[in-house]
Amino acid sequence: MGVLHVIFKKSVSRSMRLQALANVFCAVYMLTVTFIVTYVSFFHIVPGCYSTTAVFWHRLAIWYIFIGAIGNYITCIATKTGIKKIPTITDSTSLQNGGQKTASEVKESKTSKAHRNGRESAVPVSRRGRERFCLPCDMQVPVRSHHCYLCEECIVKRDHHCFFMGVCIGRENHIYFIYFTLFMGIGTFYGLLLLAKYLNYLYHIQFQGPQTFLVLFFNTLIGLFRGQLPTYRFMGLFVLLYVSLAAMMVAFGFFAWQMMIVLKGQTTFEAKFGITRYSKGGYFANFRQVFNTRSLVSLLLPLWDLATETNYCRIGSKFD
């Protein structure tokens, strides 16, 4: 991951190094909590609260949700989202520089020929024929591409940099990130229900609505101030309960946000600055820019894309 290189790189600012360290912390935290909740649910809660037949189906559901979340997490990280450095429009000057224009050359010449000898430029351009120039990368990049200083590269159709993954979310891994948030939301909600049932099974705590979470939290906190120390098992389940609650809200929040901007034909970066010119005019048309029938493979069979080296989130060859 690029963030690891930033951590140990000498010529980086303190704030950039701290952001890179935050990436590592968030990733370790997320993975640790996910594995702990899965382990406790799989080996302790389900066998203790359900019959033999129900145990099989609950464990099957836990296993599938876990594979869905971790599978899309790994696929999202493993999918390359950056733009490869390729030769720009070949002329006598750029050939002397290894087939690639430099920043100074681009500044000197604001316009260049898009075709030479009847062939298109080697630069990947958008459908509208527009392109941008990235000074840190010293190359021309497609429209909607943006440079990430943590990943140290330009990202095609960059949405945002995910601190829980340590990579940027762009055109090539956008679907995997959306599926990851969906599986994490479902998984943490399922874990929340199992933890509530286990607390009821062990300590007869009745969950009668959202207010129960507030009552349980403050009662436990007041008991600690009064010196009434609960058992280690109760405190462990108590922490996992509220961590799962927070994770569920964050995961479903990310999922809802991603679906909203997909329907609007935007990325997070574009939504931040109110850019709407890439919308296809309707919700369904915008939805089809990211999802299609092949995308169901990635949803139903996590890790399939990674195992078969395919990318069903790549709808076409256009960058916008």
Distance between CA 266 and CA 276 in Å, rounded? 7
CA distances from 159 to 110, 205, 320 (A): 28, 43, 13
CB-CB contact of 29 with 64 (8 Å): no
134: annotated active-site residue: no
CB-CB contact of 238 with 215 (8 Å): no
Q: Which of 148, 154, 162, 313 is catalytic?
A: 162
The DSSP annotation for 172-238 comes to: TTHHHHHHHHHHHHHHHHHHHHHHHHHHHHHH-----SHHHHHHHHHHHHHHHHTT----HHHHHHH
CB-CB contact of 149 with 133 (8 Å): no
Tokens linked to 121: 């430029």
Catalytic residues: 162
